[in-house]
Each structure stands twice: as C-alpha cells, then as structure tokens.
C-alpha cells in the first residue's frame, strides 16, 4: 500500500467526521456525504465512502443507519464529536490535522 493511498484513506475518514460534525444535529445521508467527498476527491465512489463509514462505525465514532431501501444515514457519536472538537486524542487511521491554533 502506498503512502498516497494511506493519506487518501485517512484523509477521507477525517473529512467524513468533519462533515458530520458540521451537519449536527441533523442526520446526514450518504448521498450528501458522497457529494462532499467528491468535491475533495473527484474520483471518490459510493463503495469507498461506505467502506470508510463502516470503519468509523466499527471505531465507535459514527452511528450508521442502514435503511431497508438501501440508503445509509450517519451521525457522529459522542466520541466522534470529541474527536472533531479536539477534546480527545485521535485514533490511528484518521488524518486529523494538528491543532495549529494552540502551541
């Protein structure tokens, strides 16, 4: 696995967390998240987004509601909010930028 793939994977996870944090308190559809991710990563796919949502769900950062219709909806957990707000250390596998505004 190349460093470019790793940076993309971890960066996309951070961008998902950040987007969900900005959307709070509203539940966010995968379609909306995919539109955001394609603005950052033009070749992002629905499958790739779902893989990262599953990862974040398994890490207890995101709750994913998988509808019978096939649509997915996501919300941050309290741990995900704390990660987005820099109140806890970030888990490995997520490229959260360093907190540059404090020394």
Q: Give the global pTM.
A: 0.93
The domains located in the chain, with CATH, are 3-84 (1.10.10.10)
Which residues is 64 bridged to in the sheet? Answer: 74
- 8-state DSSP, 26: S
H or E element that contains 76: strand 72-76
- 8-state DSSP, 71: -
Q: What is the pLDDT of residue 76?
A: 98
The tens-digit pLDDT sequence of the chain (103 residues) is 689 999 999 999 999 999 999 999 999 999 999 999 999 999 999 999 999 999 999 999 999 999 999 999 999 999 999 999 999 999 999 999 988 776 5
Q: What is the pLDDT of residue 32?
A: 97
Alpha-carbon separation of residue 96 from 13, 31, 46, 81, 88 (angstroms): 9, 23, 22, 13, 11
**CB neighbour list of residue 10: distance below 8 Å, 6 or more residues apart:** 93, 94, 95
């Amino acid at each position: 696995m190349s460093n470019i793939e790793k940076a993309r994977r971890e960066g996309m996870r951070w961008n998902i967390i950040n987007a969900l944090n900005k959307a709070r308190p509203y539940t966010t559809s995968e379609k909306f998240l995919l539109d955001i991710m394609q603005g950052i990563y033009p070749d992002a796919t629905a499958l790739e987004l779902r893989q990262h949502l599953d990862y974040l769900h398994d890490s207890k950062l995101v709750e994913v509601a998988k509808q019978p219709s096939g649509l997915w909806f996501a919300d941050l957990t309290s741990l995900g909010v704390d990660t987005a707000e820099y109140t806890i250390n970030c888990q490995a596998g997520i490229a959260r930028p360093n907190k540059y505004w404090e020394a």
